[in-house]
Amino acid sequence: MKITWLAHSAFRIETAKAKILIDPFLTGNPAFAGQDPKAAAEGLTHILLTHGHGDHVGDTVRIAKETGATVLANYDLGVWLAKKGVEKLEMGNTGGTIDLGGFTATFTQALHSSAQITEDGVSHALGNPNGLMLHFDDEPSVFHMGDTDIFTDMGLINELHQPDIGIVPIGDRFTMGGAVAALACQRFFDFKHAIPCHYGLPGVDQTPEKFVKGMEGARTRVETPAPGGSLSY
């Protein structure tokens, strides 16, 4: 498995059976500048969305049309995307699991919001925010928390799914901050690896320093690639 942090909450996951983008906010993302959007979408099979905010839906519509990738989203967001011309959709809701061939995706709870105000000034309710729990055939399991604060039922997510790799929002203001994110990881999860995200853009923490400090002494290995950097598992 190869995981590339593209920037913000956008990740590319490559496995033996799938090439996946999660929350592909590329265009207009200053932290993605200098990377190749074509390379990010090369050979793509799936786009997975945690919720409907513009900095997570990002380039989904364009990439889906160009690549024919299947888009996974909550039901409300999926209906909205269908109206935008996305044809291959898998829709679900909190607690549901969908088999995507080579891996499954389970919608978990996240504490956040999900509406989007579009260019026409209209607020669109796009369902509940989610985390995404991914189980792969013969490869590590990955939990992308989405945008969230800490909550005690994270312990149940760990009990049910025992994720190997955690993708953790740490930037504060719009999600939990680094210290709280570290508490969530240490109290509720037993990740082998943790990758922080949702930092480095205007208005949020610029570095993962608070998270790294909070994880000192934990069994979890914290990995902080630069935007565009890849990790192999």
CATH code assigned at 27: 3.60.15.10
Residue 223: pLDDT band (50, 70, 90) is very high
Give just the sign of the alpha carbon dihedral 201, 166, 99, 131.
negative
Q: How far apart are CA 55 and CA 171, in angstroms?
A: 14
Q: How far apart are CA 156 and CA 13, in angstroms?
A: 25
**Over the stretch 195-210, which tens digit does the pLDDT of each residue have?**
999 999 999 999 999 9
The three-class DSSP label of residue 203 is coil
User: Which residue(s) pair with 168 in the sheet?
Assistant: 196
The three-class DSSP label of residue 77 is helix
What pLDDT sits at residue 181?
A: 99
Residue 29 sits at φ, ψ, to 5 deg, of -95, 110
116 found inside a domain: yes
What pLDDT sits at residue 121?
A: 85
232 found inside a domain: no
Q: How far apart are CA 13 and CA 74, in angstroms?
A: 20
What pLDDT sits at residue 118?
A: 80
**Over the stretch 81-138, which tens digit does the pLDDT of each residue have?**
999 999 999 999 999 999 999 999 999 999 999 999 887 888 999 999 999 999 999 9
Q: How far apart are CA 60 and CA 54, in angstroms?
A: 10
pLDDT of 76 strictly over 80: yes
Instruction: Provide the residue range defining the domain that includes 139.
Output: 2-226
pLDDT of 41 strictly over 80: yes
pLDDT of 219 strictly over 90: yes
What pLDDT sits at residue 117?
A: 86
Element (H, E) at 142: strand 139-144
User: Across residues 210-227, what is the average pLDDT?
Assistant: 98
Q: How far apart are CA 156 and CA 165, in angstroms?
A: 16
User: Which residue(s) pair with 123 in the sheet?
Assistant: 117
233 found inside a domain: no
What pLDDT sits at residue 119?
A: 77
194 found inside a domain: yes
Domain count, the chain: 1
231 found inside a domain: no
101 found inside a domain: yes
Taking a C-beta distance cutoff of 8 angstroms, is the pair 163, 141 a contact? Answer: yes
pTM to 2 decimal places: 0.98
**Over the stretch 138-186, which tens digit does the pLDDT of each residue have?**
999 999 999 999 999 999 999 999 999 999 999 999 999 999 999 999 9
**Residue in the block written with tokens 């995307």:** 81
**Nearest CA-CA partner of 209 in 221, 219, 222, 218:** 222
**Over the stretch 6-21, which tens digit does the pLDDT of each residue have?**
999 999 999 999 999 9
